[in-house]
Amino acid sequence: MFEILKSFETKYGYLKKKGLTIEGLAMVDVKKKKHVIKISRPLVFDNRLLPKRFEGLDVKTNIKLSTEMPKEFNVDRTQPDWHKKQYIWAPERFVKYVERCEKEIKAQLNNPQMTKPEILDALCFGNFEEHKLKSLQLVKEGKLPAYHEN
């Protein structure tokens, strides 16, 4: 399994310059002995460069939450059960952020030719429409709170 991690680092290590951190292997299901490759990255990062699976292992991505998150993603995480009231990664937040900061995001991603849909895909886990549909379904099922402006 460490060979898989080494291979992942060889193939995607160049993304460290863009803020990627390869954290290593993690077990997510002890009973099934399911492992993942655990990585983290900044909010502004082109997720289309990363696979969802690599050599049989899922790639688990976390966003590095900084104290200087864009205002669209500011939620009061000090409140108990904040995650039951606000979904920090709501699709609407990404849309508002891209609308407000399109030029800055393009510059940060070093790709001035990107379209809004491409920026949304890049920021939003590789596929914005897929994330939006999944989020809407989870809201319908009551597993995520519906989006509301702060």
Single residue among 63, 91, 113 that ends a domain in this structure: 63
Single residue among 45, 63, 81 that ends a domain in this structure: 63
- Mean pLDDT (the chain, rounded): 92
* 101 domain residue, yes or no: yes
* 148 domain residue, yes or no: no
Q: What are the CB-based long-range contacts (under 8 Å, 24+) for 31-40? A: 35/1, 36/60, 37/4, 37/5, 37/8, 38/62, 40/64
How far is the C-alpha of 121 from the C-alpha of 117, rounded, in Å?
A: 6
**pLDDT value at 17 more than 90:** yes
Q: What is the pLDDT of residue 49?
A: 96
User: Are residues 136 and 75 part of one domain?
Assistant: yes
Domain count, the chain: 2
* 111 domain residue, yes or no: yes
* 10 domain residue, yes or no: yes
Q: What is the pLDDT of residue 28?
A: 83
pTM for the model stands at: 0.87
User: Are residues 123 and 78 part of one domain?
Assistant: yes
* 147 domain residue, yes or no: no
| 120-133 pLDDT tens trace | 999 998 899 999 99
31 pLDDT band, cuts 50/70/90, is confident
* Structural domain for 135, as ranges: 71-140
Quote the radius of gyration of the chain (alpha carbons, Å). Answer: 16
User: Are residues 134 and 79 part of one domain?
Assistant: yes
User: Are residues 83 and 55 part of one domain?
Assistant: no
E strand or H helix that includes residue 104: helix 91-108
Single residue among 15, 39, 63 that ends a domain in this structure: 63
